[in-house]
C-alpha cells in the first residue's frame, strides 16, 4: 500500500449520479491497484459513506475473483433472506441458470454478476457452483428496488434468470466463494469506511490522536488482507479490528459533532451498515477462538 497517497490530502471525487460512471472515474484516477489499495485509496476519495461502502464491496469482489472485469459487479447468493444452500432455488443445468436472487448491490449499475446456484443431482446433498452472467444478456433481467433509508445513494435490485447462459468459475461455490466472501466483504468494507473517516478527519482537522488511530487501524487492515479469509487466525485478527473500530465510536461522534453537519448527518444515517453482519461475524469469531 503506498501510504503516502493516503496521508497526503487528495481532492475528493464528486458524487456521480450514475454509479458505473462514477466507479470508472475512480479507476481512472487510481490506475492499477490491488484490492486493498482500491478499498483504502478509493474509500478516501468518495463523497459519501455509501459510495465508500460500494468501493470496499468492489475490492472484496476482486480479492475473491482476481480476474474480475474492471466494471461494477455483484455477488448474488441471498434468496428469501437466506444464504443456506438448501434454501436456494436457483439452478444450474447445462451452463444455463434459472431462478432469482433477491438482493443485488448496485443492481441497476452492475455489469456482471456472480450467481450462486444449486448443481447437485436429485439424490445428492445441496451443492453450489458459482457462475458469471452479464447484464443485458438473454435471460438476465435486473429489477431495481425502491431506495433504502440506509445508504440511499447505493441502488439495490433483484435478478431474474430465465435459462440464462453463463460461465463457471472453478471450485466449489460455497467453500471457495460464498463463504469466504462474507469475511472479505467485512474486511474491505471496514477498510474503505475507515479510510473515508480518515479523509473527513483530514478535511476537518480532527485531533491528531484520532487521525493516527484511524491510520493505525488501516495498517491493521493491511495485515489482515494478507491472510486467507478462511483461516481461524484471520477471523480472530478481523475481530480485533472491529473491536478497535467500535472503541473509537464515542471519539468519532464527538469529532463529527464539532464539524460540518453534512459529514455528521451522512455518517449517522449510514454507519449502521457496519453492524449488519455483526451476528454472523461474531459466530465466525467464536468458532475461530474455539479452534485456537
Its domain, for residue 181, covers: 4-64+176-291
Domain shared by 236 and 187, yes or no = yes
Domain shared by 230 and 93, yes or no = no
Identify the band that residue 1 occupies on the pLDDT scale cut at 50, 70 and 90. Answer: low
Lowest mean pLDDT among 7-11, 23-27, 130-134: 7-11
Domain shared by 38 and 183, yes or no = yes
What is the DSSP secondary-structure string of the chain? --THHHHS--PPPPPPSSHHHHHHHHHHHH-S--HHHHHHHHHHH-SSHHHHHHHHHHHHHHHH-TT--SS-EEEE--BTTB--GGG---EEETTEEEEEEEEEETTTT-SEEEEEEE---TTS---EEEEEEETTSTTEEEEEPPPPSSSTTS-EEEEEEEEEE-EEPSS-TIIIIIHHHHHHHHHHHHHHHHHHHHHHHHHHT--HHHHHHHHHHHHHHHHHTTS-TTSHHHHHHHHHHHHHHHHTHHHHHHHHHTS-HHHHHHHHHHGGGGGTTHHHHHHHHHHHHHH-
- Domain at 135, CATH number: 2.40.110.10
Domain shared by 132 and 110, yes or no = yes
Q: What percent of the chain has pLDDT over 70?
A: 99
Distance, in Å, from the CA atom of 252 to the CA atom of 206, rounded to the nearest integer, reads: 9
> Residue 291 pLDDT more than 80?
no
Tens of pLDDT, residue by residue over 90-142, are 999 999 999 999 989 998 899 999 999 999 988 899 999 999 999 999 999 99
Tens of pLDDT, residue by residue over 198-245, are 999 999 999 999 999 999 999 999 999 999 999 999 999 999 999 999
Amino acid at each position: 500500500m503506498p501510504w503516502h497517497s493516503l496521508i497526503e490530502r487528495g481532492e475528493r471525487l464528486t458524487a456521480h449520479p450514475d454509479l458505473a460512471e462514477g466507479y470508472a472515474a475512480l479507476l481512472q484516477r487510481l490506475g492499477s491497484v490491488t484490492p486493498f489499495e482500491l478499498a483504502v485509496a478509493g474509500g478516501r476519495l468518495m463523497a459519501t459513506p455509501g459510495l465508500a461502502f460500494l468501493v470496499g464491496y468492489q475490492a472484496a469482489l476482486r480479492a475473491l475473483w482476481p480476474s474480475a472485469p474492471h466494471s461494477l459487479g455483484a455477488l448474488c447468493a441471498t434468496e428469501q433472506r437466506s444464504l443456506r444452500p438448501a434454501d436456494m432455488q436457483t439452478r444450474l443445468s447445462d451452463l444455463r441458470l434459472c431462478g432469482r436472487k433477491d438482493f443485488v448491490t448496485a443492481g441497476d449499475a452492475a455489469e456482471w454478476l456472480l450467481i450462486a446456484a444449486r448443481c447437485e443431482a436429485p439424490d445428492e446433498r445441496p451443492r453450489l457452483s458459482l457462475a458469471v452472467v452479464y447484464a443485458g444478456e438473454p435471460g438476465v433481467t435486473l429489477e431495481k428496488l425502491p431506495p433504502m433509508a440506509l445508504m440511499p445513494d447505493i441502488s439495490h435490485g433483484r435478478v431474474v434468470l430465465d435459462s440464462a447462459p453463463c460461465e463457471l468459475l472453478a471450485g466449489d461455490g460455497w467453500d471457495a466463494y460464498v463463504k469466504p466472501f462474507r469475511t472479505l466483504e467485512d474486511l474491505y468494507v471496514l477498510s474503505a469506511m475507515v479510510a473515508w473517516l480518515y479523509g473527513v478527519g483530514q478535511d476537518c482537522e480532527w485531533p491528531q490522536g484520532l487521525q493516527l488511530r484511524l491510520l493505525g487501524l488501516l495498517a491493521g487492515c493491511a495485515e489482515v488482507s494478507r491472510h486467507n479469509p478462511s483461516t481461524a487466525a484471520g477471523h480472530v485478527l478481523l475481530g480485533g479490528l472491529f473491536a478497535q473500530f467500535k472503541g473509537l465510536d464515542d471519539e468519532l461522534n464527538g469529532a463529527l459533532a464539532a464539524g460540518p453537519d453534512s459529514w455528521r448527518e451522512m455518517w449517522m444515517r449510514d454507519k449502521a451498515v457496519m453492524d449488519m453482519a455483526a451476528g454472523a461475524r461474531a459466530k465466525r469469531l467464536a468458532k475461530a477462538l474455539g479452534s485456537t
